[in-house]
Amino acid sequence: MSSTQQPYTFDSSLINVHPVLTIPELLDSVFSFLDHHSNGTNACVCKAWSNVALPVLWCDVDLWRLVSLLVPLKKRGDSSYELVRTPQPTDWIRFSRYAPLVRRLHYDMHSQTHKHLHHSIFNDIARTRLQLNILPNLSTLDWITGNMHDMEMNFVFMHEQVKQFVVCLPFDSDPRFTNEEENGMDVPYLADVAFRMPYLTHLDLQMNFRNGLIITPLTTLLSLLTSLQTLILPESDITSQILTTVSRLPNLGTITFPSGPNQGLGFTANVSPTLTEGAFPSLWNLSLIASMHDMWRFFEMQFMPTNLTNLSLHCRNVYSAEEVRGLLKCVADGCQMLKALLLFIFMDNDSAKKGSIIFEALQPLLVRLNLTEFSLFHDCPIDITQNQIEMFAVKWPSLEAFILYYLSVKLTTYKPTLTLLAILPFLLHCPNLRELGLFISASTDFPSPIIFPSGSASTTCTSSHCDIKRFEQSITLFFGFSDIQDEGAVALFLSRLYPLGFDIECEISLSRVQDAIDDNSPEELTGELKRRVARWDEVVKMLAVLTTLRMEERERCRALEREVEDLRSRIRTLTDVSR
């Protein structure tokens, strides 16, 4: 049945509906898991179900489906689609019944089900509509297309109630959008966005052309969106002008600059925004990609953001561990409310050959901060001992995620100093831990599963022979391309750490082999990576069997304990009787 059919009601004399089937909240929860066809059928059952099913059915719609509701579409010779006829008032009256239900509208040329709509459709809609806002309750608009002409087609859906906008600006060689004098693009589209949707709270702007081409119109747009709370811009838009502009937005809480195919080309050097008193008043979540020099200078500024709780830094052109220490000291001194810190450290090619990141470079974080999430992804060796890794667990007992991961595939030149013993301090001191990632050596000096050095903080008793404490909840482990020789011994060790009765989730391969190598990688390296991944996959398979076996053995022990206690009770009874 089509969802556009008139709903009908059952004759109450023919069927008795259980009251639970008329509870709107319950129906909404159930219908949200069903597909469009099922909810279309549900909308035709009765009025009570229709009132719940229709909002679920039309809350989130594709542009093709929405336009088809107004007037059927037909295919043109150029493979695009157009209306079979001009919309009539009766079409708009029928459409108006469903239009208020639409909350999110998306049009994505990269979608597998995408069908390109001809611009004549939107001319007909704009000319024949009966009211200005054809989707009065629309709050989210996603528009990913390939040229500026298609971009302008979304004007008919823009209005002041739209709060979230995801858009990809395509590079267009049309002379209308090019300003030769300034060597940039004059994009009137951005000005329209600001005036048609002035109360945007979420802006995700993507593009596929070089940085700096639209800086002027973009800064103008951002300065007008004073209600903005979340801003996602391409990596190439990390410029002094952009950061200076957004620092004045009163409600901006999140700024991220992701990298990717639709996130601009290249990154900007010499980023030095001009910050004034009261800059970034509401900012709590910041993600930056810049050179180490620019990053350090930003966090040394007098009016840097101090209310940050989440911080992600992608540092390029790092020359020494001392630079890392200097940056982290600035972060620790200026952002003492920080709870989650994500670091990507990419050393300069020449510097990466000279040394490694040492524990002292990370030490400022332990002095000032009490983090719940800490991740460090590095492409150079990191020199850290078992005692030093234990300090992280002791200083940050509220940790929920801790990752130290080596990104480079130069596996033959870097021998990690940590072993599987590095897991134990987190097991003992961090009861809330749910993610742990380490690049370790599990091939030499493998520790006994029950014997540890006496006096180690990783044990729970004074004897050197003591049982291992188990994790109190399921935990995800990341070991990446860590080397391993004996899969059985590693699986046996890990099986002792998992709580009995919990599902095992062990993401051993942090990235696939093909992501770590390229066409020029030596065949020997490719083979070594595949060997390591295969060994860790074998560990995962063994873990499930060993954990099940331990559960069965634990149950047998409990049965024996109950039997022994019963025998002791009988002996005591017989002894009392004999007296």
The CA–CA distances, whole Å, from 247 to 191, 224, 282, 337, 483 equal 20, 13, 10, 19, 46
Q: Residue 459: which residues within 8 A CB-CB, separation 6 or more?
A: 452, 466
Burial class from Cβ neighbours inside 10 Å (0-12, 13-18, 19+) for residue 343 reads: buried
Rounded to the nearest integer, the mean pLDDT of the chain is 79
What CATH fold (topology level) applies to the domain 60-259+273-473? 3.80.10
- CA gap 227, 250 in Å, rounded: 8
- CA gap 298, 292 in Å, rounded: 10
Q: Residue 450: which residues within 8 A CB-CB, separation 6 or more?
A: 465, 466, 467, 468
Q: Among the ranges 302-306, 493-497, 550-554, which has the highest mean pLDDT value? A: 302-306
pTM attached to this predicted model: 0.79
- CA gap 244, 301 in Å, rounded: 13
- DSSP secondary structure string for all residues of 249-267: -TT--EEE---STTEEES-
Question: For 366, which DSSP code?
Answer: H
If residue 156 lies in a helix (H) or strand (E), which one and from where to where?
none
Give the start-to-end residue ranges of the domains of the chain: 1-58, 60-259+273-473
Residue-wise pLDDT for 438-492, tens only, equals 888 876 455 554 443 333 444 443 333 345 667 777 788 888 778 887 888 888 8
Give, in degrees to the nearest 5, the angle at Cα 269 between 268 and 272: 100
Model confidence at 141, in pLDDT bands (50, 70, 90)? very high
> How many whole angstroms from its chain centre is CA 19?
41
Residue-wise pLDDT for 197-240, tens only, equals 999 999 998 887 665 667 888 899 999 999 999 999 887 777 88
Q: Which of 197, 202, 195 is nearest to 232 (CA)?
A: 202
For residue 177, pLDDT beyond 50: no
Tell me, what's the pLDDT at 519? 52
Q: Which of 421, 375, 406 is nearest to 481 (CA)?
A: 406
Strands 441-442 and 230-232: unpaired
Higher model confidence: residue 63 or residue 346? 63
Tell me, what's the pLDDT at 181? 42
> How many whole angstroms from its chain centre is CA 243?
23
Burial class from Cβ neighbours inside 10 Å (0-12, 13-18, 19+) for residue 81 reads: buried
Q: Which of 266, 292, 282 is nearest to 201 (CA)?
A: 282
Q: Which of 487, 110, 156 is nearest to 262 (CA)?
A: 110
Residue-wise pLDDT for 328-380, tens only, equals 999 999 888 999 999 988 876 655 445 577 788 888 899 888 999 999 988 77
Q: Residue 302: which residues within 8 A CB-CB, separation 6 or more?
A: 275
Burial class from Cβ neighbours inside 10 Å (0-12, 13-18, 19+) for residue 436 reads: buried
467: Cα within 13 Å, side-chain hemisphere: 6
- CA gap 206, 411 in Å, rounded: 36
